[in-house]
């Protein structure tokens, strides 16, 4: 039996989705234009002074730079892990493939708070990872893996990895195995086949996966707050402090708008760069 959905139903769903998307954004964009009078009070004037103050503050600019750096590093690390894993899954001829996909789905549904708490146990000074490194270095090295950039980056990788593997699984599944076999039959090495056949075919999917992970990392709060221990300030953590500690809603809203604009700008630049580079890649 074929399910039919009327245009009115689709229009209603679209309007509802836009309402949930536009209204919250309108509220904090409007809030960012008012003067902060302290203790949650705002003034009457509307202007861009909050934005001017933020972009001229070297401390906030440093936090934005740190957030971008952590997001890029974590997204690259997740991509390096997810790409070969997804490729292996697509070429796996086993009845266990379905079980592995289900496990990936389950892991992506687990609350990020639970995952981060698990990482705190593993990466803590008395955790399994620290004990293993301490033993392998014959007691000469006891690394600090929490409350620094490294710990936050690990948390961000764990946060985005299952989704990236599932996304890249679909990408590699749409690349015919016959293309790889034809390249190998005609004398190409595995590396040459990867560089000239597999990589160009999967390039757009890899870029989309990276940008998706980057976008999620830029807005991630839990990993930075818990694994950073208050020592690693990212933009979401700074926004939370502005609201909870300073009760500064206009500056927090302005910083939220700037965060969205930075993410959109980076995505647009990456998309334009990829589009400009694609003819060159195909020509070679």
pLDDT in tens, 47-73: 899 999 999 999 999 999 999 999 999
Task: Find the mean pLDDT for residues 186-208.
Answer: 91
The CATH architecture to which 34-283 belongs is: Orthogonal Bundle (1.10)
Tokens 């890249």 sit on residue: 168
Helix axes 149-173, 97-109, angle to 10 degrees: 140
Under a CB-based contact definition with an 8 Å cutoff, are residues 112 and 159 in contact?
Answer: yes
Q: What would the mean pLDDT of 157-170 be, rounded to a whole number?
A: 94
Q: Which of 24, 27, 29 is nearest to 255 (CA)?
A: 29
Query: Per-residue pLDDT for 281 more than 60?
Result: no
Rounded Cα distance, 250 and 234, in Å: 18
What pLDDT shows up at residue 280? Answer: 44
> Can you give the pTM of this predicted structure?
0.88
pLDDT band of residue 251 (cuts 50, 70, 90) is very high
* pLDDT (mean) for 87-99: 88
% of the chain with per-residue pLDDT over 90: 53
pLDDT bracket for residue 132 (50, 70, 90): confident
The answer on pLDDT for 1 being more than 50 is no
Residue 146 pLDDT > 80: yes
Mean pLDDT of 251-261: 95
Q: What is the mean pLDDT of the chain?
A: 88
pLDDT band at 278 (very low <50, low <70, confident <90, very high): low
Mean pLDDT of 190-213: 92
Confidence at residue 82, expressed as pLDDT on a 0 to 100 scale? 96
Please state the rounded mean pLDDT for residues 90-98.
86
Confidence check: pLDDT of 282 > 50: no
DSSP the chain: ------HHHHHHHHHHHHHHHHHHHHHHHHHTTEEEEETTEEEEEE-SHHHHHHHT-HHHHHHHHHHHHHHHHHHHHHHHHHHHHHHHHHT--STTHHHHHHHHHHHHHS-HHHHHHHHHHHHSTTSHHHHHHHHHTTTS-----SSSHHHHHHHHHHHHHHHHHHHHHHHHHTS-HHHHHHHHHTT--HHHHIIIIIHHHHHHHHHHHHHHHHHHHHT--HHHHHHHTTSS--HHHHHHHHHHTS--HHHHHHHHHHHHHHHHHHHHHHHHHHHHHHHHHHH-
pLDDT > 70? residue 5: no
Please report, for the chain, the start and end positions of each structural domain, with discontinuous segments joined by +.
34-283
Question: What is the band of 131 on the pLDDT scale with cuts at 50, 70, 90?
Answer: confident
- Provide the β-strand partners of residue 36: 42
pLDDT at 88 over 70: yes
pLDDT at 89 over 70: yes
Q: Other C-beta atoms within 10 Å of 127: how many?
A: 15
- The better pLDDT of the pair 135, 254 is held by 254
pLDDT-above-70 percentage for the chain = 95
The pLDDT of residue 175: 92
């Amino acid at each position: 039996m074929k399910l039919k959905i009327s245009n009115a139903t689709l229009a209603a769903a679209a309007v509802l989705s836009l309402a949930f998307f536009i209204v919250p954004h309108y509220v904090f964009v409007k809030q960012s234009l008012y003067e902060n009078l302290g203790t949650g009070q705002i003034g009457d004037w509307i202007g861009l002074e909050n934005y001017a103050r933020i972009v001229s503050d070297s401390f906030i600019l440093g936090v934005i730079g740190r957030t971008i750096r952590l997001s890029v590093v974590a997204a690259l690390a997740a991509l390096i892990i997810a790409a070969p894993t997804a490729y292996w899954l697509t070429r796996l001829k086993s009845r266990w493939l379905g079980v592995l996909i289900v496990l990936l789905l389950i892991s992506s549904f687990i609350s990020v708070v639970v995952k981060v708490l698990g990482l705190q146990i593993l990466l803590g000074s008395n955790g399994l990872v620290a004990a293993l490194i301490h033993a392998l270095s014959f007691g000469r090295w006891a690394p600090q893996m929490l409350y620094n950039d490294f710990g936050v980056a690990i948390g961000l990788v764990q946060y985005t990895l299952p989704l990236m593997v599932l996304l890249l699984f679909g990408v590699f599944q749409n690349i015919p195995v016959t293309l790889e076999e034809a390249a190998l039959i005609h004398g190409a090495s595995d590396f040459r086949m990867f560089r000239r056949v597999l990589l160009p075919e999967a390039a757009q999917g890899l870029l989309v996966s990276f940008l998706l992970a980057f976008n999620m990392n830029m807005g991630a709060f839990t990993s930075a707050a818990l694994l950073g221990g208050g020592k690693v300030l990212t933009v979401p953590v700074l926004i939370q402090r502005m609201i909870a500690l300073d009760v500064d809603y206009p500056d927090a809203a302005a910083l939220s708008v700037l965060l969205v604009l930075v993410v959109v700008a980076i995505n647009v630049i990456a998309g334009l760069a990829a589009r400009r580079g694609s003819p060159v890649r195909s020509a070679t």
